[in-house]
Amino acid sequence: MNESTRALLIQAIQSRQDEMSHFLEQLISIPTENPPGRSYLPCVSLLERKCREVGLETKIIDVPSGGDYESCPRQCLLAFLGEADRILYFHGHYDVVPASDPRQFLALRKGTKLFGRGASDMKGGLVAMIYAARALKECGIKLNGKIGLTIVPDEETGGRNGSQYLEQIGLLGKNGIGMLTPEPTSGVIWNANRGAISLRVRVGGKSAHVGLHFLGKNAFEHMHQVVTQLLCFKEEVMKKKTCFQIKPEAAKSSILLLGGQCEGGTSFNSVPGECSFTIDRRINPEEDFDGERLKLMEILERLKSSGVPLELEVLQEGSSAGFSEDEPLARSLAESVHSIVGKPSRFEMCPGLLEIRFYGRRNVPAFAYGPGLLSVSHGPNEYVDLRDVYRCAAIYALTALRSLGAV
Ligand SMILES: [Zn+2]
């Protein structure tokens, strides 16, 4: 990359720093809590106004409301810079997890840190991606392709009314050559995520007084049978290790977590009439997601047909994704991080679900890198260091230039 173009881009972002921090304060002050999905329209409208102001073409997509969401309408925002069919996507979500205190929606600045719900996950990231596009536009750089901003709701609850809806109508990652998402990656690049299947198992029985226990059916003892089988399966699961980078070594094993939530019985002197517990299966990117899902379901179905009275509730499901560190976009991103942060970046697998999985299904290579810290995201003292927001904007602009090239 031409040194003067690089300097020009960095200069364009530096000159907008105050504006960026002010815009982030405005975004934080809109309480887009999810669940239930509050204040989405004012937030999308503000984002759209900003995208237009910086010269992007925008489109708001209304997500058809369904049962649970009648009172909270959902919208996605698409915004584009440039022409041509090859699109590099910057993808982000504007919903935040509920605040622990309503004061989290009053953005508070202390030195270079900006505190508030969503500062790190990921309204700081949204600001960075919009201002990256702005810098490219202001510097008059004509890319050999387009930048597509995809800004969605509902990421925090699985993406059904956000990314999944865009996928259904064919607007997610369309003509994409790659995707970047500014999740709070704490300085590393996430190139993979595990898949997840989370279930609640309810085991039935019949309640009775301890003195008349022979009239009851003990749900706890039934549950014990189920758990015993699952513990055997867990041994097999844990032998499988991922080749993606994740620390420490123990984090490489595939995961079966039993009993994250468990309930049952009413009193020590009654036969328990019902017990329930959760299963959280996290599947490494190298494993066959559908095959692993089936294995788990078969164990439970076998128990059911042998007479154990159980019912299943699917709490969440999300596929895995993983992209090579040698993808051209990965290289461009890593080089840009190095040149702005001043030290080489590291690739790691994200410990949770990531929306890169929606792009993976379309074979669009996707990576997460953002200004926030995972350790403060979702917590009571969430903040972002504004210097990281400015750096991230420069990194996204340079990555776009490196990977699309200029005409
Ligand atoms: Zn997030």
Residue % of the chain over a pLDDT of 90: 94
Whether omega before 380 lies within 30 degrees of 0, making that bond cis, reads no
Find the mean pLDDT for residues 242-256.
95
Copy the structure tokens of residue 161: 């009314």
Find the mean pLDDT for residues 57-65.
94
**Residue 242 Cα to ligand 1 middle (Å):** 23
**Residue 179 Cα to ligand 1 middle (Å):** 15
**Residue 155 Cα to ligand 1 middle (Å):** 7
Task: Give the E-state strand segments of 82-145 in sequence order.
Answer: 87-93, 108-110, 113-115
φ, ψ of residue 207 in degrees (nearest 5): -75, 145
Res 17 pLDDT > 90: yes
The model's pLDDT over 333-387, given as tens digits with 9 standing for 90+, comes to: 999 999 999 999 999 999 889 999 999 999 999 999 999 999 999 999 999 999 9
Res 69 pLDDT > 70: no
Whether omega before 248 lies within 30 degrees of 0, making that bond cis, reads yes
Copy the structure tokens of residue 173: 């990652």
**Residue 311 Cα to ligand 1 middle (Å):** 32
Copy the structure tokens of residue 246: 């994740």
How many Å apart are CA 388 and CA 197, to the nearest integer? 34
**Residue 125 Cα to ligand 1 middle (Å):** 9
Res 68 pLDDT > 70: no
**Residue 346 Cα to ligand 1 middle (Å):** 20
How many Å apart are CA 294 and CA 34, to the nearest integer? 31
Res 70 pLDDT > 80: no
Res 71 pLDDT > 80: no
Copy the structure tokens of residue 380: 């009571």
Cα angle 74, 79, 81; round to 5:
175
Copy the structure tokens of residue 87: 């699109």
Write down the pLDDT at residue 2. Answer: 81
Find the mean pLDDT for residues 20-25.
98
**Residue 265 Cα to ligand 1 middle (Å):** 37
Q: How far is CA 99 from CA 29, 69, 115, 322, 372, in A?
A: 12, 20, 12, 31, 17
Buried-exposed string 189-224: b where 16+ CB fall within 10 A, e elsewhere: bbbbbbbbbbbbbbbbbebbeeeeeeebbbbeebbe
The model's pLDDT over 390-402, given as tens digits with 9 standing for 90+, comes to: 999 999 999 999 9
**Residue 372 Cα to ligand 1 middle (Å):** 10
Q: Which residue has the tokens 């105050």?
A: 18
Average pLDDT, rounded, for the chain: 96
Residue that wins the pLDDT comparison between 223 and 67: 223
Find the mean pLDDT for residues 86-103.
97
Write down the pLDDT at residue 278. Answer: 97
List 180's β-bridge partners, or say none.
Answer: 90, 367
Amino acid at 153: P
Which three-class secondary structure state does DSSP give residue 173? coil
How many Å apart are CA 26 and CA 123, to the nearest integer? 10
| DSSP H/E element including 367 | strand 366-368
The model's pLDDT over 178-213, given as tens digits with 9 standing for 90+, comes to: 999 999 999 999 999 999 999 999 999 999 999 999
8-state DSSP, 97:
P
**Residue 398 Cα to ligand 1 middle (Å):** 23
Find the mean pLDDT for residues 219-224.
96
Write down the pLDDT at residue 67. Answer: 58
**Residue 256 Cα to ligand 1 middle (Å):** 23
Q: Which residue has the tokens 């995961």?
A: 255
Amino acid at 94: Y
The model's pLDDT over 112-165, given as tens digits with 9 standing for 90+, comes to: 999 999 999 999 999 999 999 999 999 999 999 999 999 999 999 999 999 999
Res 7 pLDDT > 70: yes
Find the mean pLDDT for residues 1-15.
92
Residue % of the chain over a pLDDT of 70: 99
The model's pLDDT over 311-343, given as tens digits with 9 standing for 90+, comes to: 999 999 999 999 999 999 999 999 999 999 999
Write down the pLDDT at residue 3. Answer: 85
